[in-house]
Amino acid sequence: MKNIKRVSLITLFCISTVTSSFALENDKECVVNYKKNIVHFADEHDPHNRLITLNYKTMELLDTREVEGSLNHHADVMGPVDKANYLMMVAKGSNFVTIRDIKSGNFVKKIRLPFRPRSADAYNEKYNLVLLNSRDRPAAVLIDATSLKLVGKAGFNTTCNKPNILPPYDGLYADNDIPNLKCNTYDFGGDQVSGHPIWIDSKTFAILDRSNRLLHIYGIKKHKNQWKTHLVQTLKTDTSLHQLIPKNKGRYNHTFYGSTESTGDREKIAGVYKYRKIGSRLIKIKFKKLVYYSHNFASDNNDIQENRLFPRLPIFQPSQGRTKIEGINGHNLFITPDRRYLYAPVGATFVNGKLAPGGVFVLNSFSMRVVNFIKTGYGAGHVAFSKQKGIAIVTNHKDKFVTAINYKKHKFIKNIPLNFPNEDITSITTSHSQYIDESGNYYYNFWTDGGQFFRVDLNKLVVDKSVRTGGVPIQGNFYPNIAVNCNIPAPAKEDGYDEIFSNTQTDTAQEDGNSDRHNNYDGLTNSEYIRRMRELIK
């Protein structure tokens, strides 16, 4: 039997010493529990957070294991789905993340952070960097996906001392020392100060500063074993920017879309930005508010029994005639497989000024014109497309069904009931991570409130199988093929933590060439940075 190198991974703040095995080159004796058709999901049900592993093809529960940290909301892949060696458990209630072997689920390492993490679903393939952003401040760190070490940082160290809350609220909370930089806004969208992380290109990434309604664009530059960052540009947004997506995949994409959230007082409704990338900057092309006027709108969602999003408000049955539909709770954006249309789900709508269930606004991706509105249910938040069937499935996070749409014609097909019990562990009924398999025949997701993994037959548009796991599985990743690589170098023993935001002046790199001083924050002191941010916030 060949020798296996034993590496003792000792991290600060670890309760005990953990030993993991990494195979030497050409060693065939590595642990491989999972190879194909695997889904890893995070279960954030405190106090026993778990990693749940299933085979989605056979609909079998393979493994559950407890993981360290509070509110493990994400099980994020650290690299391309078919090549990554690790996944990251993002404990949104703790100041660290834990790394696990993707092919076995075994613990590898803990990485301490200077903030509570939000998500790490952004990977730079050229430089092998994972972008992990913060839940409690507009900030992010760069993690090398091989050494599993912090190698860069960006953002601003203004912490939030109160969570984001929906109305009624007591006003806007701000850091005591920085009154113009708010901890949060009264926009919808949860308690994440930063929006989804995204790489604009291999040398540029974005931090979506939802707390101050700003979009920060950062550049990176390699200096020895560290990546230095510099703030290239800051753009003001109408309300909190939840997500930024590219029109096309690939390194030469130049068009991006951003979805905004409405304000709690309805002063501003949700909308969609269109940006053009020029060099390392983004230029705003258009902003479209999510409003649609219809002469034929009528509510036929008769199976909705209660208003789960706003329980004190009745479900509104709109009258016939000219109808104004306004989108609120702007969430994620999705683009159709032909790249011609944007699907913008909203968790609820106002129809002629009264609250109604959510739906999907359909926008022409070129002109940004709203071409249709399709009713769904409360909490509409995610869309998956079956190219083979021409069907889109909409996840309704606050309702008891998913909605099927003909995305070629942008027409409602039916609501597919999810006949699972409400266990009232969480207000989320259906998870954030939906998936349609390679054949286009099956849709998969989790009933989060009590843990039921289910499958929808897209030929019959019915739930045909389910597996109970318990807990509150909330977000994960699906892998048609796991990267079964046994020659993985042992990750760095040190977790790379330092006082990441302690020295703004020396921890940033100087940008090459001439730059606009108003948009160049390299080497600025905290007070100067604050002054510049105030100018944008006014």
Q: Region 208-218: what's the mean pLDDT?
A: 87
* Cis? peptide before 47, omega within 30° of 0: yes
Burial of residue 429, with CB atoms counted within 10 A of its CB: 0-12 exposed, 13-18 middle, 19 or more buried: buried
pLDDT higher at 155 or 319: 155
Binned at pLDDT 50, 70 and 90, residue 506 comes out as very low
What mean pLDDT is predicted for residues 257-273? 88
Question: What is the separation, in whole angstroms, between the first and last Cα of the chain?
Answer: 68
Chain segment 266-298, per-residue pLDDT in tens = 788 999 999 999 999 999 999 999 999 987 665
pLDDT value of position 213: 84
pLDDT in the model for residue 212:
79
| pLDDT computed for residue 376 by the predictor | 96
Residue 336 has pLDDT above 80, yes or no: yes
**Higher per-residue pLDDT: 513 or 147:** 147
Which pair of tokens denotes residue 224? 């020895």
pLDDT at 15 over 70: no
Q: What was the pLDDT predicted at 20?
A: 38
The predicted pLDDT at position 293 comes to 93
Give the largest Cα separation in the chain, rounded: 78
* CA distance linking residue 266 with residue 471, whole number of Å: 34
Question: How does residue 523 score in pLDDT terms, banded at 50, 70 and 90?
Answer: very low
The answer to whether 353 touches 369, Cβ cutoff 8 Å, is no
53, 37 Cβ separation under 8 angstroms: no
Q: What is the mean pLDDT of the chain?
A: 81
Query: Any idea where the domains of the chain sit in the sequence?
Result: 1-112+480-491, 122-289+503-538, 290-429+458-464
What pLDDT digit, counting tens, does each position of 367-385 carry?
999 999 999 999 999 999 9
Identity of the highest mean pLDDT range in 40-44, 215-219, 227-231: 40-44
Q: Is it the case that residue 46 has pLDDT exceeding 70?
A: yes
32: pLDDT strictly greater than 80 = yes
What dihedral angle (degrees, nearest 10) is formed by the CA atoms of 352, 358, 364, 365? 130
Q: Is the model's pTM score more than 0.75?
A: yes
Nearest-Å Rg of the Cα atoms of the chain is: 23
Question: Which tens digit of pLDDT belongs to each residue from 103-154?
Answer: 999 999 999 988 889 999 999 999 999 999 988 888 899 999 999 999 988 8
Quick one: pLDDT at residue 163?
Answer: 41
State mean pLDDT over 412-441.
Answer: 95
pLDDT in tens, 150-186: 998 888 766 554 444 333 323 333 333 444 445 555 6
SS3 assignment, position 517: helix
Mean pLDDT for the stretch of residues 376-397: 96
> Side chain identity at 505, as an amino acid letter?
Q
Task: Measure the CA–CA gap between 447 and 530, rounded to whole angstroms.
Answer: 43
Between residues 288 and 486, the one the model is more confident about: 288
Does position 19 have pLDDT exceeding 50, yes or no? no
Q: Which fold has domain 290-429+458-464?
A: Lipocalin (2.40.128)
Average pLDDT over residues 238-262: 89
Please answer whether residues 327 and 361 qualify as being in contact, where contact means their C-beta atoms are separated by less than 8 angstroms: yes
The CA-CA-CA angle for residues 509, 513, 518, to 5°, reads: 75
Look at residue 47 and tell me whether its pLDDT is greater than 50. Answer: yes
**Strands 380-386, 411-417: pairing kind:** unpaired
What pLDDT, on a 0 to 100 scale, did the predictor assign at position 388? Answer: 96
Give yes or no for a contact between 240 and 207, defined as CB atoms under 8 angstroms apart: no
Q: Of the segments 219-223, 224-228, 417-421, which one has the largest average pLDDT value?
A: 417-421
CA 162 to chain centre: 21
Residues 6+ apart with CB under 8 A from 434: 382, 384, 393, 395, 443, 444, 445
